[in-house]
Amino acid sequence: MPLFSPRLSAVFIILFISTSFGFAQQNNKSFFPAGSRVCFIGNSITNNGEYYNDLWIYYATRFPAQKIRFYNCGISGDVATGILKRMDKDVLIHRPTQAVMMIGMNDVKRELYGKANSNETLKQQALAAYRSSTEAAVKILKKNVEAVTLLKPSIYDQTAVMETENLYGVNDALQRCAEHMQFLSEKYHTNLVDFQSVLLRINNEEQLKDPAFTIIGKDRVHPQSAGHFVMAYQFLKDTKSPQYVSKLIIGDDLKASQEGSFNAEIRKQSNTDSSLTFECLEKSLPFPIKESAADALKWVPFNEEFNTELLQVKKILPGNYHLFIDDVFIAGVTAKNLSTGINLALYKNTPQYRQAITVMNTCIKYRDVEAVIRNLRFVEFMHLSELKDASDTTLVAGYLKNRLKTLKSGGHYEYHQKQFKNYLLKKSSETEALRQLSVLADTIYQVNQPQVHVFKIVKQQ
């Protein structure tokens, strides 16, 4: 008896009609078109580079034929007025086609909060300055780039029970910043992504179980890997990004499989009494989940909404089957599994997933090298902007030494000490680091090109 049974055809004709209708409605459009040059503008949370790097992994695996370039334009400790000061030299210098901006965590002046007798006037002045400077930044961006995306800022965790001093009220101020982003988005017709709500929702839900839980981190300010992944998820959700890596809907013959599948080319299908074999070129790769971000899958339905690589076989006989790809055993599956459809993106041993890991590692390497550049920019824009000649290394070293003395009584002394030391060590290698970034950006779109694979589904006796 062949693997496909005519007796099951009536049931699957209905299924085929319903699923085929869905194909016509399928969204496979990238939010960032081919050739996009995207600047991500912000403070240390952007400078960290993780959420935007997760996004690049998504676009590089989902749209491998559409080459884009992301630029980190985050500066630790920055505020909206700082963005205005460095707009030309640090943002527009990249000739961006799109800009994504998140700012606010430092603008609200956290030191004004958490006190019994806080100065309400200073708080309102800080928010007024934020509103004015962010609007000025949006006006500039609207004149210079094709599309602007504003982000409602990530949260300050003022509800977790932990040792770190709680500057209660900071996130209330950040919510005013989020409201202003909403206002600017509507006024200037930008895209809008809401990080504030999703992070608050997860915090609220998890802290009911464990008051010490935080989606952010021990400092209450900077999201960790899972938090950044949630932010990337919300960006994809709010920009209506596509769900499917591909749909492999295998029918009675090659023609039916070709017509039924989505974002994939089915080739050389062969049905025998005990097996089904076909070649397939999927036009996207699954999204690989970093171990450091895996907890996020408990809080957001990422795989269901943005990482579905569907394999479905119609009219398959009851029984147990083995799935092979390129002669590698992937999993044992039942006829029910196959007729309903399995998500191949969840199987980390497929050749497609292994290739996606290579893409991810290349993107991470890009982020690591870019971090060197961002640390240089931090020192230049935050500490050397008033120095007339920053090309004289001896002069710079003396200037930074004196600058460090003024920071000794304040906070973050050791952080600045490390940054200044790294600046003096690595400034001379800046040209090489920039060259490496260009090479890595090209490499991403070499290692991400999908390959033809041979699928074999064998019935077990």
What mean pLDDT is predicted for residues 300-321?
Answer: 95
Name the domain count of the chain.
2
Q: In this structure, what CATH number is given to the domain that contains residue 198?
A: 3.40.50.1110
Q: Which residue has the higher pLDDT, 408 or 40?
A: 40
In a domain, 296, yes or no: no
Give the model's pLDDT for residue 451.
97
What mean pLDDT is predicted for residues 383-407?
Answer: 90
pLDDT class of 412 with cuts at 50, 70, 90 = confident
Q: Which of 241, 260, 286 is the last residue of a domain?
A: 241
Residue 336 main-chain phi, psi, to 5 deg = -65, -40
Cα 97 to Cα 32: distance, rounded to the nearest angstrom = 9
pLDDT class of 9 with cuts at 50, 70, 90 = very low
- Is residue 189's pLDDT more than 80? yes
Lowest mean pLDDT among 137-151, 254-268, 405-419: 405-419
Closest listed residue to residue 340, CA positions, set 314, 320, 308, 359: 314
Kind and range of the H or E element at 38? strand 37-42
In a domain, 221, yes or no: yes
Q: Are residues 102 and 237 in the same domain?
A: yes
Q: For tokens 């504030």, what's the residue?
A: 196
Give the model's pLDDT for residue 26.
59
In a domain, 312, yes or no: no
Q: Which of 218, 241, 264 is the last residue of a domain?
A: 241
Mean pLDDT over all residues of the chain?
93
Closest listed residue to residue 177, CA positions, set 129, 140, 214: 129
Q: How far is CA 349 from each of CA 62, 104, 105, 319, 458, rounded to the nearest angstrom? A: 19, 42, 41, 23, 18
What mean pLDDT is predicted for residues 70-93?
Answer: 98
In a domain, 140, yes or no: yes
DSSP 262: B
Give CA torsion, residues 331, 324, 11, 259, to 10 deg: 130
pLDDT class of 306 with cuts at 50, 70, 90 = very high
- Is residue 10's pLDDT more than 90? no
In a domain, 417, yes or no: yes
Closest listed residue to residue 44, CA positions, set 288, 239, 216: 216
In a domain, 126, yes or no: yes
In a domain, 386, yes or no: yes
User: Which strands sit side by side in the sheet containing 69-74, from one edge to the other?
Assistant: 69-74, 37-42, 98-102, 147-152, 191-194
In a domain, 436, yes or no: yes
Q: In 3-state terms, what secondary structure has residue 328?
A: strand
Lowest mean pLDDT among 3-17, 23-37, 116-130, 323-337: 3-17
Q: Domain containing 51: what range? A: 37-241
Cα 202 to Cα 408: distance, rounded to the nearest angstrom = 38
- Is residue 1's pLDDT more than 80? no
Buried-exposed string 282-317: b where 16+ CB fall within 10 A, e elsewhere? bbbbbbbbbeebeebbebbebbeebbbbbbbbbbbb
- Is residue 125's pLDDT more than 50? yes
Q: Which of 198, 226, 241 is the last residue of a domain?
A: 241
The two tokens of residue 380 are: 């230049």
pLDDT digits over 334-349, tens only?
A: 999 999 999 999 999 9
Q: Are residues 230 and 376 in the same domain?
A: no
pLDDT class of 3 with cuts at 50, 70, 90 = low
- Percentage of the chain modeled with pLDDT above 70: 94
Give the model's pLDDT for residue 309.
98
The two tokens of residue 360 are: 């991810």
